[in-house]
Amino acid sequence: MKIARIETFLFDPGTAKNLLFCRVETDSGLHGWGEAYVTPGKEPVIEHLLRHLAQHIIGRDAFSIRHTAQVVFEDFAMRRTSLDLMSAWSAIEIALWDIVAKHANLPLYNLLGGASRERVKVYANGWSSGTETIEQNVERAVKVKEMGYTALKWDPFPGPWRSFIHREDEDHVVRYVRAMRQALGPDFTLLVEVHRRLAPMHAIRVGRRIAEFDIGWYEEPCLCDNIDLVAEVRRALPMPIVTGEAIYSKEGFAAALAARAADILNPDICNCGGVSAMLDIAAMAQPHAVAIAPHNYNSTLVGLAATVHLSALIPNFWIAECFINLQPACDAIAAAPLTVHEGFVDLPTTPGLGIELDVERLRAKPYRDMGPRTGLRSYTEEFPRKHYAVAATRTGY
């Protein structure tokens, strides 16, 4: 069964970024869907790379997924990796697994060894866009709880991102986390995102101050390119430390595990290399007693479906991410949308990923150029606290 065609679709869901899907067709008539991780403003860059990569993959055996991954790394990328490359390849790789599972007439999780659980627990993200005050976001968080979610994630730091912050920034975070805990109650799981922004001295200070609010995890406190910084924070704090969304190779995850940098890894299936890589990363983490909580800043269609299948079969899975602000637009282009009920997603039972996209509806909402997401800040927007006034325009999903 040969790969005959690879088509890309940039889709505007009406949020802060477009989504990038790909449809891989074979000479047998089977097709599969994939999705590439994209960041706001770079969607056309990833699409261009995906199309160029596709020229080298068309004509290859659709079953030969792992070998194709190896030659993409060695022959196409000359043994270098990057977010852009791995996002493009992940989309194709996911689509190929969708095809192979359809060929076997099995849901993907059954093809790969069978489910370890009946349903997959997810937490809410993407719920806090466009607000300007702590009070407004607390109101939104309460609505998320009313939707049935028992966990949510958010970044409580004022923008823009910087490594060195002042006491008023720390105080802002403490007020924010305290307000969330008071509003949501003691049994709700609060997951704090830091987005790699802090130097260890600030990450540790803030972490110690918010520990009293029973934080479910502290995600990416420092830049993981120097994984020892993350490990330093983990040694100093009582709450679980997460890293992984900005690691795009198995070598990077191996380094994180060797450094004992995290209690939980959060690889993203749409940028870490796809299905095979996610399985490998989870297997690497298991003997270290490290959990997997897949990152998923992707659609509630392909990205979430692939995440759910892998989460179903990974023994050391803990929780997965769901961007709830993307769901209305994604449901509108899905033949059978995935549904979240009381914070869980039931496993698909149809062959492959168990999802199908309506191509005409996809094409009806093409790429939307939203201009610079944040612009580049001026030195006049640094200290003192001028960045509070522009924070609402520089953050959000």
Q: What b/e sequence results for 309-341 when a residue is b if at least 16 CB atoms lie within 10 Å of its CB, and e otherwise?
A: bbbbbbebbbbbbbbbbbbebbeebbeebbebe
Identify which of 84, 65, 21 has the alpha carbon closest to the alpha carbon of residue 278: 65
Q: What does the radius of gyration of the chain's CA atoms come to, in whole angstroms?
A: 20
Chain segment 170-221, per-residue pLDDT in tens: 999 999 999 999 999 999 999 999 999 999 999 999 999 999 999 999 999 9
Per-residue pLDDT, 302: 98
Cβ atoms of 239 and 207 within 8 Å: the answer is: yes
Q: DSSP characters for 342-378? A: TTEEEPP-SSBTS--B-HHHHHHS-------SS----
Cβ atoms of 369 and 40 within 8 Å: the answer is: no
| Distance from C-alpha of 156 to C-alpha of 158, rounded to nearest angstrom | 7
Helix axes 275-285, 83-104, angle to 10 degrees: 100
Residue ranges of the alpha helices (H) in the chain?
Answer: 43-57, 65-71, 83-104, 108-111, 134-146, 167-184, 200-210, 227-236, 250-258, 275-285, 302-313, 327-332, 359-364, 387-394
CATH, range 109-353: 3.20.20.120
Per-residue pLDDT, 385: 54
The position carrying tokens 């009381």 is 342
Local confidence pLDDT in tens for the 397 residues of the chain: 999 999 999 999 998 899 999 999 999 999 999 999 999 989 999 999 999 999 999 999 999 999 999 999 999 999 999 999 999 999 999 999 999 999 999 999 999 999 999 999 999 999 876 667 899 999 999 999 999 999 999 999 987 778 998 899 999 999 999 999 999 999 999 999 999 999 999 999 999 999 999 999 999 999 999 999 999 999 999 999 999 999 999 999 999 999 999 999 999 999 999 999 999 999 999 999 999 999 999 999 999 999 999 999 999 999 999 999 999 999 999 998 999 999 999 999 999 999 999 999 999 999 999 876 556 777 777 765 554 544 443 445 5
Identify which of 162, 233, 155 has the alpha carbon closest to the alpha carbon of residue 191: 155
Tokens of 336: 């059978």
| Distance from C-alpha of 162 to C-alpha of 175, rounded to nearest angstrom | 19
| Distance from C-alpha of 233 to C-alpha of 173, rounded to nearest angstrom | 17
Tokens of 256: 């994180």
Backbone angles phi, psi at 371, to 5 degrees: 75, -175
Chain segment 296-311, per-residue pLDDT in tens: 999 999 999 999 999 9
Per-residue pLDDT, 389: 47
Residue 305 C-alpha from the chain's centroid: 12
In sequence order, which residues have a C-beta less than 8 Å from that of residue 139 and are 6 or more positions away?
Answer: none
Sign of CA dihedral 46, 50, 321, 68: negative
Per-residue pLDDT, 340: 95
Per-residue pLDDT, 387: 47
Per-residue pLDDT, 395: 45
Please report, for the chain, the start and end positions of each structural domain, with discontinuous segments joined by +. 109-353
Identify which of 70, 87, 73 has the alpha carbon closest to the alpha carbon of residue 34: 87
Identify which of 28, 49, 36 has the alpha carbon closest to the alpha carbon of residue 10: 36
The position carrying tokens 């993307």 is 326
Per-residue pLDDT, 393: 39
Per-residue pLDDT, 375: 65
Per-residue pLDDT, 377: 74
Per-residue pLDDT, 134: 93
Per-residue pLDDT, 129: 67
